[in-house]
Amino acid sequence: NAGVTQTPKFRILKIGQSMTLQCAQDMNHNYMYWYRQDPGMGLKLIYYSVGAGITDKGEVPNGYNVSRSTTEDFPLRLELAAPSQTSVYFCASSRNSYEQYFGPGTRLTVT
Amino acid sequence: GQQVMQIPQYQHVQEGEDFTTYCNSSTTLSNIQWYKQRPGGHPVFLIQLVKSGEVKKQKRLTFQFGEAKKNSSLHITATQTTDVGTYFCAVHLTGANSKLTFGKGITLSVRP
């Protein structure tokens, strides 16, 4: 099993551009999550999903959108990128909302 | 609001010393998880504690859940350079069983 995969690993965006961060898992997990991590601030939940077709906002959803059309994929969309969205983004999945498995992360810089 | 506190954010120890860190909540928790993130890496699940007073060991790491289920400790015996990283506690807040709330973490550095 590949576990949780994320693409791209690194990306530089200009202010106002859009992009989609990809996340996929092959463990048949129902729960999937997107976090952002800023230095010294821990992990902040952006959006999460408890199953295909169901998504919900986390702590910091503004400026982001998600969709969950399949169990495996949970892409995160950034519209109109802003410098405040410079961060490391982690996708995670879990079987039963307990132990979470994290992907390797995407380092995004918005300039 | 309801949250979990990890203080301090940084700690430096000499290799071979013991290290203990705590995670504190103002409310009773249903369970608590601990994760470790190596520098440049992603968080990795270490353990979950559920029962009051529960103690679990993983080699040199000992995890304990408080009797009142409002705090937890992580103790590392005889630290090694491989213990370097950030340790996060994470909890399910009341009414939010589908998502975890993470503490800010404690970053441990070990002097060889």
Residue of chain A minimizing CA distance to B103 = A42
The pLDDT score that the predictor gives to residue B3 is 82
The pLDDT score that the predictor gives to residue B93 is 80
**β-strand pairing of B71-76 with A106-110:** unpaired
Number of inter-chain CB pairs under 8 A, A vs B: 49
Is B1's pLDDT higher than 70?
no
* Segment A17-40, tens digit of pLDDT: 999 999 999 999 999 999 999 987
% of chain B exceeding 90 in pLDDT: 87
Contacts of B98 in chain A (CB under 8 A): 31, 48, 50, 56, 97
Residue B83 phi, psi (nearest 5): -85, -5
The pLDDT score that the predictor gives to residue B2 is 56
Return the DSSP state at A40.
T
Shortest alpha-carbon distance between residue B56 and chain A (Å): 16
Please, is B39 exposed, middle or buried when counting C-beta atoms within 10 Å of its C-beta (0-12, 13-18, 19+)?
exposed
**β-strand pairing of A64-66 with A87-94:** unpaired
Quote the CA–CA distance of A80 and A99 in Å, as a whole number. Answer: 33
The pLDDT score that the predictor gives to residue A111 is 96
A33/B42 touch (CB, cutoff 8 Å), yes or no: no
Residue of chain B minimizing CA distance to A50 = B98
Mutation for testing the B interface, residue in A90, A96, A102, A107 having most B CBs under 10 Å: A102
* Segment B43-98, tens digit of pLDDT: 999 999 999 999 999 999 999 999 999 999 999 999 999 999 999 999 988 777 77
Residue B74 contacts residue B84 (beta carbons within 8 Å) = no
* Segment B7-22, tens digit of pLDDT: 889 999 999 999 999 9
**β-strand pairing of A19-25 with A4-7:** antiparallel
Contacts of B33 in chain A (CB under 8 A): 98-99
B98/A97 touch (CB, cutoff 8 Å), yes or no: yes
A99/B97 touch (CB, cutoff 8 Å), yes or no: no
Does residue A61 have a cis peptide bond before it, meaning omega lies within 30 degrees of 0? no
Computed over every residue of chain A, the mean pLDDT equals: 95
Residue B111 contacts residue B13 (beta carbons within 8 Å) = yes
User: What stretch of H or E contains A23?
Assistant: strand A19-25
Contacts of A96 in chain B (CB under 8 A): none
Residue B54 phi, psi (nearest 5): -60, 140
* Spans in chain A with pLDDT lower than 50: none
B67: left (phi over 0), alpha (psi -120 to 50) or beta: alpha
The residues on A that touch B, with CB distances below 8 Å, are 31, 33, 35, 40-43, 45, 48, 50, 56, 58, 90, 92, 97-105
Quote the CA–CA distance of A93 and A98 in Å, as a whole number. Answer: 9
